[in-house]
Structure 1
Amino acid sequence: MSFQKKYIPFIIGVAVAAGVFIGGKLNFTDTSDRLFTSNSKKDKLNRLIDYIDYEYVDEVNTDSIVDVTVNGILDNLDPHSTYIPKSELQRVTENMKGDFIGIGVSFYTYKDTVTVIRPTEGGPSEKAGIKGGDRIIMADGDSIFGREWSNEAIIEKLKGEKNTKVHLKVLRKGEDELLDFTVKRTDIPIKSVDAAYMLTNKLGYIKINRFAESTYKEFKKALDKLQNQGATQLALDLRDNPGGFLGVAEQIIDEFLEDDKLILFTKNKSGKIEKSYATRRGDFEEGEVYILINENSASASEIVAGALQDNDKGTIVGRRSYGKGLVQREMALGDGSAVRLTVSRYYTPTGRSIQRPYHNGNSDDYYNDYYKRLSSGELSEQENIKVADSLKFTTPNGKVVYGGGGIIPDIFVPLDTSIQNETLNYIRRRGYISNFVFEELDRDRSVYENVTKDDFIKNFEVSDDIVIKFQDYLNLKERTKITFVAYHDAMKQLIKADLADQLYGGNASEQIINEKDEMILEVIKLSEDENF
C-alpha cells in the first residue's frame, strides 16, 4: 500500500475533527474576523479595538488605548491590583530581583555631565579605579554628555550583557588629560538592607527598605554579623517599607519563631486556605526583638509585625501601619507588560485581616488615608486610633490585638514634627540637600581623605555657615523664599547624613539620622529596662 493511501483515512479523520471544533466556535452572523473568540465580554473589547484600528477617521495608537482600558478595569477592583507597562516592567523586575547588570556607580547629572557620586563598594567601577567626583565623558567612543542625554538613556548606555566590557573616558579634577578605564559589567546589587550596626553593646539594628528576592540573604548576613558582635536583642526597622515578596517575609519571620508556630494563612476566592509555619531553622529564637513600624509600613512589613505580635514574640514599636492585607501575583500579558492581580487575602496567626476598607476600588480616599490620620490626631496621640470591638482578637498570652486596618503597635511613638514636616520633606524630595552636598564635596574632596567613617560620625559637625550657605543655595534654586529657621538643627543633621552617604555609604548615613530618632531612642530605653 502506498504512503498516500495508507494515511488518507487518518488525515480525513483529523480534518473532520478540526472542522467540528472550528464549526462549534463559528458564529455565521458574525462579520468579525476573530473567529476563535467565544467569550462575548472579550469579543466586545476585541471588536472595539479592531473598529478603532481599521475604521476610525484618525490614526490612533491603540496600544495606549489598551493600557487605559486595562487600568480602567483594575481601578474597579482593589487599590493594589496594578498594571505594569512594558516600558516599566524591566525596572520593576530588577528592583524586586535585587540586582541588575551594570558598572556599579551612583551618579548625578551635573551641568549636563554624568558625574559619579560614589562607586558601588566592591563593584567593577571601584575595582577599575573610578572615584567620586569623576565625570564620565564617553562610553565606547560615544559622547554621553549634553542636554539630549536623559538619565534613562545614560543608564541604557552603561548597562549591558553580563561580563561585557565598556570603555570609558573620564575627566578627573587635577588631571590634565582624560583618563581611560575599561569596566566589566556584572551583577550590581540593589540593596534592601539599608543599615546594620550595634546601637548598644547588646542591641543590634537592621533596617530593611523592601522585601526583594535578595533580602533574606542580606538580612541573614547582617544578623550573623551583629550576633558575632554580641547582639542578644534586635531592632528591626520596617518603617516606610512598602512590602514585597511574601515568601521572603516568611523566611525572616522564621528566624524569630520556634518550630511549628503559625506565621500566617491565606484564603483565595474559592475559600481555599493555605497555612505557613515556622521551621526548625532560626538563629534568633531566644533573642528579644523590637519591630519598628509607621504609617508607611505595608504588606510584607505588616506580615512580619503581625506574625510576631500574634505569637507574643517581641515588641511592636511605632505607629499604626498602612493596612494592606491583600496578596498579589504577577501575570504576564503576552506583549511584555504584566498585571499584578490580587489573588488572596492574608490573615495573621490569630485570624486578623489587617486590610483597611476600599469601598470604591482605587479611590483617592484610600490613598489620602495618611492625611486623614494626620488631621484626626492619630499620628500624635495613641488614643485617637480608632478600633472596632468586632475585630478584637487575643494572642496566646492574652494580649488584645485588632484587625481591620493595619497593625497597632504595643508601644506608641508619635510623629516627630521637628524632622517630619512639609518644609523639610519638600526639600528632601526635590534632592536639594544631596545636590548641595555634592557641589560642596566637589570643591575639595581631599579634606575628607584621611577621615574615617567612625571619626566622621562621632566628631564631624556641620557649621552654621554651611546651613546659611544651603539656605542661599535653596533660595537661588527655588527663586522663592523657603525658610527653615525653626528646623536649623534638623537641617544640620540632614546635611551631615547626606555627606556621610556620599562619602561612606548608607550605613553611615542611617547612623547619623538615628542618633536623634525618637523611635530608636525609645527602643534603646525599652531594651535597657529590665522590668519591661
Structure 2
Amino acid sequence: MKSKEKYLPILLFSCVALGIMIGGMINFPNRKLSPKNASQAKLNRLIDFIDNEYVDDVNSDSIVALTVNSILEKLDPHSIYIPPSEQATEAEIMKGNFVGIGVNFYMYKDTVTVVNPLPNGPAAKAGIQAGDRILYAGKTKLFGRNLPSDSLFTKLKGNEGSKVNLTVYRKTENKKINIAVTRGTVPIKSVDIALMLNKTTGYIKINRFAENTYDEFITGLNQLKKKGANSIIVDVRNNGGGYLEKAVEIADEFLKKDELIVFTKNKKGFTNETFATDKGIFENGKVTILIDENSASASEILAGAIQDNDRGTIVGRRSFGKGLVQREMDFDDGSAVRLTTARYYTPSGRSIQKPYTKGEGEKYSHDFEARFENGELYEKDKIKVADSLKFKTKKGRIVYGGGGIVPDIFVPLEVKKGEEGLAYLLNSGVVGHFVFEQIDKDRNYFKKLSYATFLTDFEKDESYISKFENYLKNAGLDIKLSNNKQIVKTHLTAEFARQLFGETQYYQILLKNDLMINTALKK
C-alpha cells in the first residue's frame, strides 16, 4: 500500500465513528437547563464579562460552544453538544422526513446536479430528471458560488405546499427549462429494502433506528411473510444506532412474551428492564442478524437480544461497542446536548461498551486502527475478549462483555489483507459520483438499456474497473484494484443498476456475491 492508502482506512473509519457518536441511543424528554449553583453562575458571569468588557469584539456564542464542548469531552466519547445549525438536520433525519423537493444531488463541477429524483416525490412529479443541473431557485443563483450544503438545502426546502421555480439545464436536450415544483413531505427511509433472497429467505436492511423505522420494518416483514419467508436476515451493518425503543420494538417481533430484551442502569443504581410482549409476528421462524465493526448502539441492542435469548444467529464481525445511553436536553437557541445518563445491558447482563479513558475521545475513535493492526477483521481468534467478563445465554452458551457483540459466525473482510480501506471506499459516496459521471457522458444510451441487456453487457465489460482506478488516482488516491477485481466490479455494477433502475436491482446485484449473505444462507 502506498502512503495515502495507509491512512485511508483510518480516515474513513474515523468519519464513521463520528457518525456513531452523534447517532447513538437516544431516549429522551425535553429539558431546559438553568444555572443552579455558584459554579454555573461564575461561568455565566465570565461570559458576560467577556461580552461586555473585553477589548475586542468576541462572538460569545462561539465561547459558549467551546466551553460546552470542553466540558463534555472530559466526560465520555458520546456526550456531545449539537449547535443549532446541526440540530435541525439531526432532528429531520431522526424524524424520518422533511419538506422539500425530493432529489438526490451532489455538487458536480460546482453545480447542483440531480443524481436521481426520489420516486413519486415532488421533483419527479414536476418533471425533474436524473442529470438535470439546477441553475437557479427562483432568482437565486446556485452554480459557480461554492455554496455550502446547508445553504443549498435552505433554498430547496420550504413550507409544505409552497412553490419554487427552478431553472435547470438538461444536458440530454442541450437546453434550459423552467420547472415549478410544489414542495412536499419527503421521506428519509431508514429501511433501505425488504426482498426475497430465495423462495424461503427474506432480507431486510436497516440503515438507522429513527421514528419511522419500526413501521417501515413491519411493513417489509409482512410483505416477506406473504411471499413465503420462513427465515429472515436482518442487516444492521454500518448502522450507527438511533432510538432505543425502535430496536426494542423490532426485537419484540422475534421474541416470545416476557423474554428480556434490554435493561438500563443509571448512576443511582435504578434499573429499567424491557421485556417482549405477546405481539410478535415472527416468533418461530429462523432469524439471522448481520453486524460489522460499524454496527453500534441500537444495532447492538437488537443483536444482543437475539443472541442472549438464543433466538437466532449473529453473523459478521465484532460490533462497535457502544453501551451508553444518551438523553437529549435542549437549549433555548435551538442547540442541544446529548448527555450520557445510563448504561445498557443485554439480557445476559453484559455491558458491551468498549473501554475508554475520559478526555481521550481521539484515541477512542481510533480503536478501528487497532482492529486493523491486530488482524481481527480477518481472523476471529484475534478478537480480544476478557475471560473475567463471561456471561451465559438462555441456553448456557458463553458470550463476552466489554467491547461489542462478538458474532456466532465470523466473516472476514472480503478485500485482501492490507487493502482494508477499499472496503469502506466502496461503500462511500465516491462510487456513486463516479457512476453518475460515467452515465452522464451518454445518458441517452443508458436510458435505452433494458435491465436484462444491462446485466449481459456489464458481465462482459471490464473497462469500468480501470476507469474507476484512474478516477481515484485523479482524486489523489493511488489505489490498485487488481487484487480485488470481483468485489469492485460487483459494487460498480450494483451502483449503475441503482442509478438506472432502482434500489431493488442494486441490492439484487450487491447481495448475490456478498460473503456474509452467502455464509448466512449456508448455515
Alpha carbons 1:242, 1:299 under 8 Å: kept: yes
**3-state DSSP of counterpart to 1:449:** helix
Q: 1:477 to 1:352 in 2, by over 3 A?
A: closer
CA distance in 2, matches of 1:421, 1:89: 36
Task: Give 3-state SS (helix, strand or coil) of 1:217's partner.
Answer: helix
Structure 1 Cα separation of the partners of residues 424 and 233 of structure 2: 29
SS at match of 1:178: strand
Matched, 1:359 2:357: yes
Q: Following the alignment from structure 1 to structure 2, what is the Cα–Cα distance between the partners of residues 69 and 82?
A: 12
Asked if structure 2 preserves the Cα contact closer than 8 Å seen for 1:462 and 1:495, the reply is: no
CA change 1:141–1:326 in 2 (3 A) is same
Match of 2:459 in 1: 461
Q: Secondary structure at the match of 2:484?
A: helix
Higher relative contact order (CA 8 A, sep 6+): 2
Residues 269-278 or 203-212, more deviating: 269-278
Deviates more, 1:188-197 or 1:88-97: 188-197
**Aligned with residue 505 of structure 2, among 484, 504, 508:** 508
Count of residue correspondences: 490
Instruction: Provide the residue aligned with 2:160 in structure 1.
Output: 162
| Contact 1:462–1:492 (CA under 8 A) maintained in structure 2 | no
Output one character per residue of 1:125-153: Cα deviation in whole Å (capped at 9) or x when no partner.
Answer: 11122111112222223332222433332
Q: Find the aligned partners of 1:103 and 1:215 in 2 and give their Cα distance.
A: 22
Shift, 1:346, TM fit: 1.0
Indicate if the aligned counterparts of 1:86 and 1:335 stay in contact, CA closer than 8 A: yes
Give CA-to-partner distance per residue, 1:87-133, whole Å, 9 cap, x none. Answer: 11111111111111110111122232222111101111111221111
Distance 2:510 2:375 in 1: 25
Q: Which residue identity does 1:126 align to in structure 2?
A: A
Cα distance change, pair 453–163 in 1 and its aligned pair in 2 (3 A) = farther
- Bigger shift: residues 381-390 or 305-314: 381-390
The residue aligned with 2:3 is none
- Aligned pairs (5 A) from 1:127-526: 127-175=125-173, 177-418=175-416, 421-425=419-423, 428=426, 431-453=429-451, 456=454, 460-461=458-459, 463-478=461-476, 481-526=478-523
Structure 1 match to 2:95: 97
* Residue pair 1:331, 1:339 contacting (<8 A) in 2 also: yes
Go from structure 1 to structure 2 and tell me whether the alpha carbon gap of 1:387 and 1:487 turns closer, same or farther (over 3 Å shift): closer
- Counterpart residue type for residue 395 of structure 2: N
RMSD: 2.2
SS at match of 2:459: coil
Amino acid at match of 1:491: V
Task: Specify the code of the residue in structure 2 equivalent to 1:372.
Answer: A
Give the aligned residue type for 2:137: A
SS at match of 1:438: helix
Please say if residues 415 and 422 of structure 2, whose CA atoms lie closer than 8 Å, have aligned partners that are also in contact. Answer: no
- Residue aligned with 2:435, SS: helix
Q: Percent identity?
A: 52
Determine which structure has more spread, i.e. the larger CA radius of gyration.
1
**1:497-530 alpha-carbon deviations (Å, 9 max, x no partner):** 221222233343233222222111100111xxxx
Report the alpha carbon displacement of residue 362 of structure 1 after superposing the two structures with TM: 4.2
In 2, the alpha carbon distance for the partners of 1:295 and 1:210 equals 15
Residue in 1 that maps onto 2:73: 75
Residue 363 to residue 256, structure 1, CA distance change in 2 (3 Å): same
Distance 1:227 1:320, change over 3 A: same
Q: Which 5+ residue runs of structure 1 have no aligned equivalent? A: 1-35, 527-532
Counterpart residue identity of residue 516, structure 2:
M
Q: CA deviation at 1:420?
A: 9.1
1:503 aligned partner, one-letter code: L
Q: Partners of 1:109 and 1:55 in 2: how far apart?
A: 44
C-alpha distance in structure 2 between counterparts of 1:489 and 1:431, whole Å: 19
Q: Offset of 1:291 from its aligned partner?
A: 0.5
What's 1:26 paired with? Answer: none
Mapped to 1, the partners of 2:49 and 2:360 lie a distance apart of 29
Q: Structure 2: give runs of 5+ residues left out of the alignment.
A: 1-33
